[in-house]
Structure 1
Amino acid sequence: MNLKKIIGLLLIAFVIFYVLSFPEESSQIIKSTVGALGDAAGNFATFVKSIFA
């Protein structure tokens, strides 16, 4: 197994451990991340509209 695959598996294991250990904090992180991605997508759409307007 190469090092990249081992690090990836360890990262996945850590994420699963964190979600199971701290479910409320994990949900807050997901909510804020999705909100930030939504805001970024909206801002990008506005930018593209302004280019072609």
Structure 2
Amino acid sequence: MSAKKIIGLLLIAFVVFYVLSNPTDASDLIKNAASGLKSAAQSFAQFIGSIGS
């Protein structure tokens, strides 16, 4: 098994462990990440819109 595959499996195991041991913190993390992505998408859309004007 390659090192890249082992690291990927360890990362998945850590995420599963984190979600099961701290579900509230995990949901807050997802909400914050989604909010950040939404903000970035809105800023990008505004930038593209200003180029066309």
Over aligned residues, Cα RMSD in angstroms?
0.3
Match in the other structure for 1:13? 13
The alpha carbon displacement at 1:16 in A equals: 0.2
Q: 5+ residue gaps in structure 2? A: none
Alpha-carbon deviation of 1:27? Answer: 0.3
Please give the TM-score of this superposition, normalised by the length of structure 1. 0.99
1:40 corresponds in structure 2 to 40
Rounded Cα–Cα distance in structure 2 between residues aligned with 1:48 and 1:13: 39
Distance (Å, rounded) in 1 between the aligned partners of 2:6 and 2:32:
29
Mapped to 2, the partners of 1:14 and 1:49 lie a distance apart of 40
Under a length normalisation based on structure 2, what TM-score does the superposition of the two structures give?
0.99
Name the amino acid aligned to 1:42.
Q
Give 4+ residue runs of structure 1 displaced > 4 Å after superposition.
none
